[in-house]
Amino acid sequence: MQIGLVGLGKMGGNMRERIRAAGHTVVGYDTNPDLSDVGHLSDVVDRLDGPRAVWVMVPAGAVTQHVIDQLGSLLKPGDTVVDGGNSHWRDDEKHARELGARGIGFVDAGVSGGVWGLENGYALMVGGEEEHVERLKPIFDALKPDGPYGYVHAGRVGAGHFAKMVHNGIEYAMMQAYAEGWELLEKVDSVDNVREVYRSWQDGTVIRSWLLDLAVNALDDDAHLEKVRGYADDSGEGRWTVEAAIDNAVPLPAITASLFARFSSRQEDSPQMKMVAALRNQFGGHAVASADRPDRKSPASPGSPGSPGSPDEA
C-alpha cells in the first residue's frame, strides 16, 4: 500500500521506517529538509496513486489545522486523511466535517509507543467510519505490535483520540503512584537500596509494568535521580481528561491529583517529579530539566528529534 506521512519527528520518522519494513511505500514530508523525502506537501500528493491516504503526525492545534486545510485543497474525493497526533476529539469532528464536504474521508488515530515504537510496535486507537478505517488496515497492521492486541477501532470519529486521551490520563496517575512510592522509600533510613527494591518488583508482583521497567532504567542511569530537577510538564491530555470527567460527571480523583502534582512541580523542586520527569524521558524521549541548571533542560536521551506535543507525550 502507498501512504503519505506528514511530520517526521521522533515518532513520525520511526513510523515511516516501520511501515516501510512491512513492505509498504511511504512518501514522507517534513519542514526539515534533512528528514523529508520531498520538497513540498503537494509533492506527497503528486507521488501517490489514487485513492490516496495521508497520515498527519504534527503537533495538535493550529499546526494540525493548517496541514489539514492544505490537504483539503490538494486531495480529491475518495482520498483519506489520518490524524495521528494528539488532537482534541472535538477537533476531529470538525476536521471530518470539513473534509467530508469535499468528499475526503477522515480517521483519527491515537498512537502510543513513544521512542520504542519502531522496535515494539505502536498501540493504535482508531475512530472513523468503517469504510475509511478498513482502507487503512494494512498500515495499522504494519504499525501495531505483533500478536492479537494493540489495535482497536474504538468507534466513530473522535473515539480514537478520546481513548488515547484517557490512556494518557491513566498514565499520569500510574507515573504519580510510582513516583510517590519512590520518594517514600528514599525518605526512610531503613531502606538503603531503593533501586533494587524497584527492580525486585519487576517479576511476580501485581504492580509490574512497562512503566516500572522504565523506572528501573532511569534509576540505573542515576540511582537517586540527583541529575534531574523535580519539574514535569503536562502535555494537555491530562487536562482534557479531567475536563471530560467534569463534563460527564465521572469522578477521577487519582488522575486529577496526578495532574495537580505536575502543577506543584513548577513551584518547587519536587522529589516525586524527579521520577515522573525521568519516566517521561525513558518512554518518550522528552527533555528533562537539569538539576544543576534549573533554568535549562537537558537533551532527551533516547533520541530527541521532533516537535512538542508528540502523540505519546504525557
Pairing mode, strands 297-298 and 288-289: antiparallel
Q: Please indicate, yes or no, if residue 312 is contained in any of the structural domains.
A: no
Task: Give me the phi and psi of 107, to 5 degrees please.
Answer: -130, 135
Give the active site residue among 76, 93, 137, 164: 164
Domain identity same for 31 and 116: yes
Q: Which residue has the cell 477522515?
A: 106
CATH of the domain at 43: 3.40.50.720
Q: What is the pLDDT of residue 306?
A: 34
Distance between alpha carbon 142 and the CA centroid of its chain, in Å? 18
Any domain includes 303: no
Query: Is residue 171 located within the same domain as residue 92?
Result: no
Structure confidence at residue 292 (pLDDT): 67
Residue of 10, 130, 144, 171 marked catalytic:
171
Is 314 a member of any domain? no
Domain span at residue 239?
164-298
Q: Is 130 a catalytic residue?
A: no
Q: Is 164 annotated in the active site? A: yes
Torsion, Cα 133 135 139 142, to 10 degrees, reads 90
Tell me what pLDDT residue 312 has.
57
Tell me what pLDDT residue 85 has. Answer: 94
Per-residue pLDDT of the chain (314 residues; tens, 9 = 90+): 999 999 999 899 999 999 999 999 999 999 999 999 999 999 999 999 999 999 999 999 999 999 999 999 999 999 999 999 999 999 999 999 999 999 999 999 999 998 899 999 999 999 999 999 999 999 999 999 999 999 999 999 999 999 999 999 999 999 999 999 999 999 999 999 999 999 999 999 999 999 999 999 999 999 999 999 888 888 789 999 999 999 999 999 999 999 999 988 887 677 888 888 899 889 888 888 877 655 544 444 333 333 334 465 56
> Which pLDDT score is estimated for 303?
35
Residue 105: partners with Cβ closer than 8 Å, 6 or more residues away: 78, 79, 80, 81, 99, 128, 129, 131, 132, 135
Enter the C-alpha cell of residue 57: 503526525
Three-class SS state of 43: helix
Among the listed residues 248, 87, 235, 63, the one whose alpha carbon sits nearest the alpha carbon of residue 163: 87
pLDDT at 283: 86
Q: Which residue has cell 516501520?
A: 18
Question: What does the DSSP assignment read for 191-221?
Answer: ---HHHHHHHTTTTSTT--HHHHHHHHHHHH
Give the CATH number, domain containing residue 201: 1.10.1040.10
Of the candidates 84, 100, 97, 108, the one whose C-alpha atom is nearest the C-alpha of residue 157 is 108
On whether both 170 and 68 belong to a single domain, the answer is no
Same domain, 60 and 147: yes
How many domains is the chain partitioned into structurally?
Answer: 2
CA distance 246 to 240: 10
